[in-house]
Structure 1
């Protein structure tokens, strides 16, 4: 009987060891770049995010160590149901391990829930809603690049303290716009300002005339654009046609990307203040990456902070896989390892990932240069202020993430 027990235990140990060996030797990973590939957010994410993912794979060095890493891409069309259906197909059929990018907060929040259900990983660099690491946080999602708290407390606080103490919002009518207006309102009021009103506009509208007339009539000093991408550029162009800034009101582009500034041109965009966490011309490392990126992009654009976030978040993901000795295909386990390792990459510098999944790094308040100040193509920003990493995102003691509850 004793020998039988010993044999059974030995057999169990062998099975356990074999399972661990199989895990340690599993050096495969599959990445799904889920983005708006053709609509109003395609310039800030889209094909550029897929390229950024490819560059991260190349720069990680893992393929040279025997890893097989595949990338696929999909277009969520800015529709939560489409995004969820693609993600479900990827997990169930394509065996995707990690989804990256996902601009549009409505899509991102829906996909985040599915990722938790499938025990996959979401590394979100495109969506803005701070709810991703607050009320709707999960053990499987990391929010990398920016969020509505960062934008609000960067641009909103700075402009209010500089004298822009009355606000009116033009808000995109979906999750991101609502979160950005909410967070900016809190920042403005904390800084002693007041909100005189606001109006919601449909996503992707081509006519802002009625909304701008309401903003003009409000007499607010600051017109806060709680939108993104083509919505932001269209609103800014039409505001110039209406003469809003000539009348003494100032536009606050609460989320602005370098692709937007390029589309607008310096004549139209000059003087805009906004908050970002990455700019291609910050230092030698950001310039080196950005020039490589630009050379490989068909339209030769410089990377946005969303593209930078895809690249950096994947570099950190690969570090976690190496630290684990292989890919366990267990999303929560890999995310937990990512949180243990301090972040350190050429685009965002040193930082960390908090227990709620929020990546912490500095943010920057920029102003768009005048045409006379620009020294060449894509030389668009001047730095106004640096927001330290510990001030740029929601403090943990104010986070409503359920993962933080004991």
Structure 2
């Protein structure tokens, strides 16, 4: 029971608005038709607050404080050193701000001067650079898509190289020289020689590995590769599937469930948890990782990450012309922007214990609240097919019951929920999204 109280959830209300005054010309015709430019979109949904976050005043965390500014500057210098040849100076600060904002919110218990904090920032920067690389490739005009086709070929080559390369590091070593030998082997791959961007990224990894060893002295090359291998291959293949189908114009032919599955893999939650396990020095037992309840819990987490990204990143997507995610897909399939957003909000129905906590009522009365406009987005309860927040709460309870007192599992849940709840604030903080005064979180 102590462990349950330690990670007890409570409800919160999230209000957000999307400014529609600047809509990119790069958007497809169906999406442009679905957006009523000039009208602001205002929505709200209820979410959960993990127990550790109830003790933290998120409003007092500032990116303008001295230590945070210093950390952003150091990260900007690192980006300049390794990626300065193809990332513009003004965008380096943009990336550094984005990385620090994420770690501040998702891991608030990490000291900003710690090696864990700095290491995690590097991972986020790499993720953002890769994400931008994919997004940039989709901005080519439809009638001249030779660059997209070429990138499809690159991705196929990288996939094959990863399958071979990730299976070669059987030697267990903490020596950075061994990591450099592996890097040299990777750099000899023909695909990297053809693409300077990937070559530069490969060159930066020994420094990242060095930072990780500062955070976890027990980390070895074999453990490092083994931890990431399977999940990295899965997320790469999901990105490749998504990109290839976008390029070939076949993405919209798939049903929403299939597209949501691939987007959930792209969300990268398993990689996030892998990084945490490396920095914290724990490993989930196979009996937990292979348990169907855990697998589904992790999937639902990933879906929630994707939904939050679609909702709170919508303004950025519309302004930059990035037709990514489920809201954009639904608009291309004929829904208006408002209806597409409402359909995603339907998936964030409250877990029943939250409703009971809010109204202090008997469980038999819960069904009345589910159709009350004050407590929902206006959709009838019997029209819903998926209620991910409700499922999340029940799966979470099942895990804690099945594996009582498992500290590794509790840590995994804590950091996953840190991402989910903390991301509400990263969208406010990061200059990438421009949502500073447009997201408000109220604990209930």
> Whose strand fraction is larger, Structure 1's or Structure 2's?
1
Q: Scaled by the length of structure 2, what TM-score is found?
A: 0.24
* Structure of higher RCO (CA pairs closer than 8 Å, 6+ residues apart): 2
> Whose helix fraction is larger, Structure 1's or Structure 2's?
2
